[in-house]
Amino acid sequence: MNMTLPVDFERLPEFRCLVGLMKERVTRLRHGYGAPSGAADGERHMPDKWVEGMAVFIVMRLWVELAYAAQTTNRPGVLSDRAEKLLVGSLDPLFGEDCGIVALLRETGWLEEEATQDSTKVFRCKVFARDNAHLAGDFKSKEVRGAAGSALVRGRPRVEREVEQQSLLMPAETLLVVDETKATAGEPGGAPKMRPLTRDEILGCIRVIKTLDNCLRIGGRRTAEYTQGILADAWEVSRKYSEAQLVEFYQWLMVERDHPAVPERTEQLLSRFDAVFNARRRE
C-alpha cells in the first residue's frame, strides 16, 4: 500500500498554519521539551526547527491513520472513529492530552467537518482524498472504469433494438400516471386525473429497465415481467433524472455490480433507486 503525500506539503497553507499555531502554543507540550533546564512553565520555548519537525510528524501520523481508514471506510480522507483514537493515542504521549490534536488539525484546515447519510458528523482531509483515491478498498482504476464505459456504448444499439421490439408487445394502456397538466377532480383532495403513457414515455421506461438489466447481466426478460410496479418505478426514474445522470450511473453500476450493497435484480434496484444513486454520489 503506497500513500501519496505532496512533495511540497510543507509549503501548503495548512502546514504553515499548523506550525504557526504550534509556535504560539508550544508551552502546552508535555514536560516543556526543549525548554532550558529549570525554566518556569511560562518561559518554556522550543527552537522553530523543532516545532516544524513536530508538525511534520503530526502530518505523517495523520496520513498513516487516514491510509488505513480508507481501506475500511472506502472513503479516502475520512477520519473514522477508530482512526481518530489511534491518531490521538500516538500523539498524546508527546503533546499531552490537553493539546487537542484533532481540534488543532481542524483549526488549521487539515480536517473539515462533513455530514454523513445518517446525519452524524465525520472529519475529512481533502488534501489526502485528492491524491489517495487508490487506497479505498473498493477502488477501481481508470482502465476498469473506461472499459465499463466502452461496454455500455457498444451495447447501446442492441438495447435500443430490444426496446423497440418490446414496445410493440406492450398493451395500449400499459400504465396510467397522474396527468400533471390537469387539476384534481372536484374539490381539493379529490382524485387526480390519470392518463396513459405516450409511446415515447413507454420507450423511455423500457430503456431504463433494459439498460439496468444489461448492467446487472440479466437477460431474457419476458413481456409478463414488465409489471405495473417495475414500469411505475422506471417511469419515476426516467422523469426524475437526466440522460447524462443516468449514463453516469450506468457506468458506475457496471463497475460496482458485484458489490454486496448493489441489488442483484433490476426490480430491487428500481424500487430503491434514489437511495443507491445518492449513496454512489457520496462515495
pLDDT in tens, 175-218: 778 777 765 555 566 677 888 888 888 899 999 999 999 889 88
The rounded distance, in Å, linking the Cα atoms of 98 and 251 is 48
- 218 and 183 in a single domain? The answer is yes
User: pTM value?
Assistant: 0.50
The rounded distance, in Å, linking the Cα atoms of 148 and 146 is 5
Q: Report, as ranges of residue numbers, the positions in the chain whose pLDDT lies below 50.
A: 27-28, 30-43, 139, 141, 144
Q: Which of 118, 135, 152 is the last residue of a domain?
A: 135
Residue 3: inside a domain, yes or no?
no
Name every residue whose Cβ is closer than 8 Å to that of residue 165 and which is 6 or more positions away in sequence. Answer: none
Residue 23 confidence (pLDDT): 81
Q: Which of 103, 135, 167 is the last residue of a domain?
A: 135
Residue 37 confidence (pLDDT): 44
Q: Which of 94, 115, 135 is the last residue of a domain?
A: 135
Using alpha carbons only, give the angle 230, 149, 125 rounded to the nearest 5 degrees: 95
- 67 and 167 in a single domain? The answer is no
Residue 265 confidence (pLDDT): 93
The rounded distance, in Å, linking the Cα atoms of 148 and 154 is 10
Name every residue whose Cβ is closer than 8 Å to that of residue 31 and which is 6 or more positions away in sequence. Answer: none
Residue 32 confidence (pLDDT): 45
Residue 139 confidence (pLDDT): 46
Q: Are 124 and 111 in contact (CB under 8 A)?
A: yes
Cell 491518531, located at residue:
87
Strands of 94-238, DSSP E: 112-115, 121-124, 176-178, 194-196
Q: Are 44 and 27 in contact (CB under 8 A)?
A: yes
Q: Residue 71 sits in which domain range?
A: 9-135
Residue 197 confidence (pLDDT): 83
Residue 44 confidence (pLDDT): 52
